[in-house]
Amino acid sequence: MNRLYIPIFILLALVSCNSSTKKDVDVSNIKVNLVVDRFEQQFYTATKETLPKLERKYPYLFPEKNDSIWLKKINIEQELYQKSQKIFSDFNEGKAQIRNLFKHVKYYYPNFKSPKIITLITNLDYESKVIYADSLLFISLDMYLGTKDKVYNDFPEYLKQNYNKKQLVVDVAKAIANKYYRPKHNRLFLNNCIIEGKKKYILDAFLPMVSDERKMGYTKDQLEWAEANELPIWTYFMEKDLLFSSNSTLYKRFIADAPFSKFYLNIDSQSPGRLGTWIGWQIVRSYMKNNDVTLQQLLQTKAEEIFKKSKYKPHKNGNKSYL
């Protein structure tokens, strides 16, 4: 069975719910202070004589008080440093994007204070690409060298497709968003979809000019796949009684990072991962389109209420469906 069965009665009442629900806001008069400290440029050019001064300047970046360890690190990671300098020689593009992001965050959260940005190299620590700690924002430049760079050869494709310069501001936005919305996983699959959808909607608010594919971490083809199959995906979820299921495997199948989603059909390998997140995002967008609520109110609203009031009806994308 390679196609998902779509009942005729479902097709009759469908309307589109897409990225047109996103709204930009005027942030031209919002002032933010942006400071970028290129720590990696100081560290990887340091010598035995200059290293102690650097340790005193950045004590939180030197947990080990052993200069030989740091000098060895400087030597071993020179390739990563040199590559990062070719991609981020002046960081002007990154600064412009992050400044605009900070303005949008401050629009929604007036008490937001711009953290000091510290760029560094973390030896391909993909779990720590961006770390936000209130007054400090650490960015690991070696995780944005370009998808095809050989340093990522051992990483799976679905991860390394986002190790490029254009994803940096998205990862910064995600790190900041985590401060304002830190939900716990829910037992019900639909609720988890909507929780993840809220996270994506925060990105809509913080990064209104960034494409959906970048916010999802999809390639163009993966986004087109998701858009073309929104209706059959939703139909599959309903017909398999997954929406209100508490089966823990559903999180791994449709929400967690993965090379593809798991419908247990032959078509699986052609699908992108996290399609539950994609559907949850469309539900949240529909809710915001049909209800007059603020971003903060959205984040406080329970998933059940969002679903009921969303009036969500999946988009049918003509003859482009791949399922």
Q: Which residues pair with 116 in a beta bridge?
A: 136
pLDDT of res. 14: 35
pLDDT by residue, tens only, the chain of 323 residues: 344 433 322 333 333 334 444 568 999 999 999 999 999 999 999 999 999 999 999 999 999 879 999 999 999 999 999 999 999 999 999 999 999 999 999 999 999 999 999 999 999 999 999 999 989 999 999 999 999 999 999 999 999 999 999 999 999 999 999 999 999 888 999 999 999 999 999 999 999 999 999 999 999 999 999 999 999 999 999 999 999 999 999 999 999 999 999 999 999 999 999 999 999 999 999 999 999 999 999 999 999 999 999 999 998 775 566 66
Q: How far is CA 206 from CA 42, 164, 174, in A?
A: 31, 20, 9
Q: Is the dihedral of CA 301, 305, 310, 312 positive or negative?
A: positive
Measured in whole angstroms, how far is the alpha carbon of residue 302 from the centre of its chain? Answer: 22
Measured in whole angstroms, how far is the alpha carbon of residue 204 from the centre of its chain? Answer: 11
Do 279 and 196 contact (CB within 8 A), yes or no?
no
Whole-prediction pTM: 0.90
Q: Which residues pair with 137 in a beta bridge?
A: 117, 132
Q: How far apart are CA 215 and CA 21, in angstroms?
A: 15
User: Which residues have CB under 8 Å from 112's CB, separation 6+?
Assistant: 102, 105, 106
Nearest to 285 by CA among 184, 162, 196: 196
pLDDT of res. 252: 97
Element spanning 38, H or E: strand 36-38
Q: How far apart are CA 119 and CA 122, in angstroms?
A: 10
What burial class does residue 166 get, using C-beta atoms within 10 Å of its C-beta: 0-12 exposed, 13-18 middle, 19+ buried?
middle
Do 312 and 45 contact (CB within 8 A), yes or no?
no
Beta strands 130-133 and 136-140: pairing type? antiparallel
